[in-house]
Amino acid sequence: MIYTVTFNPSLDYVVHMKKFAAGAINRAEKETIYPGGKGINVALVLGNLHIPARMLGFMAGFTGQEIERLCEENGGDCDFIRLDKGYSRINMKISAEEETAVNGMGPVIPKDKLKQLMKQIEALDEGDTLVLAGSIPSTLPGDMYEQILKRMEFRHIRTVVDATGDLLRNVIAYRPFLIKPNQDELGELFSVVLHRDEEIIMCAKRLQTMGARNVLVSLGGDGALLLGEDGKIYRRPSPQGRLVNSVGAGDSMVAGFLAGFEASGGSLEEALKWGIAAGSATAFQDWLAGEKEIKKLYKTL
């Protein structure tokens, strides 16, 4: 079974407009609300691919209620913990000539609720997969993911971490099965701006030396680079298509990768292909891609 943890779920309020001007009143031409947060998106896309995935995390207030309702409406298997105070955040996504996002902070998570989550995680069985994805509310300690991976060590649980900065850096020594920084996030870890494949490979190799087993670097419209634990480097471009909304593309890629790895009996080449197909299929439509769109793109790779 795959479990995804979203510490900081969101309602993604996506507005489309031709031009966006900072410091002015902008009018939306189209607006939609989706359930969001990285672990939630990973689980929804896995569900679309008929792979059971249970969503863990915290929900608060009317926004939390709506996120959970939307998850369930979209087939999600939810086991969220309800907080008594505060609101789950609303993340504003502006899709214009460029994409702009304002991600909220999220509610305070009290100690007893955190303990409850730890209990849920402790109950995972050997062979399960644990996906820790997205940011954590600022009131939680920055070593949150590290604390969890420390508990998972030696338990034969496959761990996946999609996070940035210290949250990611601190888990690498615990040998996560997969990490998926994008090009900018990888550069930020080493305080550099990355341009060429050789530079990306050099940084990704350093993360492998530090402990990460498979390092998947997503490159937006340029595809992705995978440094596999088999010592090979896999590189694939993205399929051609019209970008509609890339929110959730990275999460879809993680889901596609896990689905492809499972279905192929552990082929990293196949995992990467399914990851790219799922990521790009999501980028080419309003929201997370379904099985049909993902399979259609996979066949073109």
Ligand X SMILES: O=P(O)(O)OC[C@H]1O[C@](O)(COP(=O)(O)O)[C@@H](O)[C@@H]1O
Binding site for ligand ADP (CB under 6 A): 182, 218-221, 223-224, 238, 241, 243, 246, 249-250, 253, 276, 279-280, 283
- Which one is catalytic: 77, 128, 162, 251? 251
Q: Is 8 in the site for ligand X (CB under 6 A)?
A: yes
Nearer to ligand X, 187 or 250 (CB): 250
Q: 3, 37, 55, 287: which one contacts ligand X (CB under 6 A)?
A: 37
Decide if residue 47 touches ligand X (CB under 6 A).
no
Q: Annotated catalytic, 251?
A: yes
Which range touches ligand X (CB under 6 A), out of 30-38, 66-74, 116-124, 138-146? 30-38
Which CB sits closer to ligand X, 105 or 202?
105
Output the smallest distance, CB 231 to ligand X, in A.
Answer: 28
Q: Could you tell me the smallest distance in angstroms from the CB atom of residue 264 to ligand X?
A: 23
User: Which residues ranging from 76 to 105 are in contact with ligand X (CB under 6 A)?
Assistant: 91, 103
- Which listed residue (134, 223, 239, 275) binds ligand X by CB under 6 A? 134
Q: Which residue has the tokens 């999609």?
A: 162
Nearest residue (beta carbon) to ligand ADP:
250
Q: Which residues are catalytic?
A: 251
Give the footprint of ligand X on this chain (CB under 6 A): 8, 10, 12, 36-38, 41, 91, 103, 134-135, 247-251
